[in-house]
């Protein structure tokens, strides 16, 4: 079955540590996204990537880094510079814009819940 896989589902980190969240998709989608969700604040865009070896900062990129070495993979690193990293992190992807049947929806992974101790 095609889909987006995020791991780990739950992660605990000590202050000052970097952690990397994995996101893999086998949907052959070009674009991939990372969002952060905090209670009562909706989803906020951290980084996005339209093609391999290219990515752009979203609205809240400070303290995060990404890479896009393969079409299928878009890992997110939460660095020690991120002041309040405890959150629910969601990875999403979308098909090529040129796809006639594409309605514009995003396809989400199940999320990774990060807690800083």
Partner 1 sequence: RKEVEQDPGPFNVPEGATVAFNCTYSNSASQSFFWYRQDCRKEPKLLMSVYSSGNEDGRFTAQLNRASQYISLLIRDSKLSDSATYLCVVSHYSGGYQKVTFGTGTKLQVIP
What is the contact surface with partner 1 in residues (CB under 8 A)?
31, 33, 35, 40-43, 45, 48, 50, 56, 88, 90, 94, 97, 103-106, 108-111, 113
CB 40, min distance to partner 1, A:
6
CA distances from 71 to 29, 55, 95, 114, 116 (A): 8, 12, 12, 25, 30
Can you give the C-alpha Rg of the chain in angstroms?
14
Q: Which is nearer to partner 1, 45 or 80 (CB)?
A: 45
User: Least distance (Å) from partner 1 to the CB of residue 31?
Assistant: 7
Q: Please, what is the minimum distance in Å from the beta carbon of residue 113 to partner 1?
A: 8
């Amino acid at each position: 079955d095609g889909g987006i896989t995020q791991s780990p589902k739950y992660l605990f980190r000590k202050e000052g540590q970097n952690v990397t969240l994995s996101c893999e998709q086998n949907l052959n989608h070009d674009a991939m996204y990372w969002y952060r969700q905090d209670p009562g604040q909706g989803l906020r865009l951290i980084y996005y990537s339209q093609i391999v070896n290219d990515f752009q900062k979203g609205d809240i990129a400070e303290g995060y880094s990404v890479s896009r070495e393969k079409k299928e993979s878009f890992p997110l690193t939460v660095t020690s510079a991120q002041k309040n990293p405890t959150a629910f992190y969601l990875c999403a992807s979308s098909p090529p814009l040129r796809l006639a049947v594409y309605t514009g929806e995003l396809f989400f992974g199940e999320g990774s819940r990060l807690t800083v101790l």
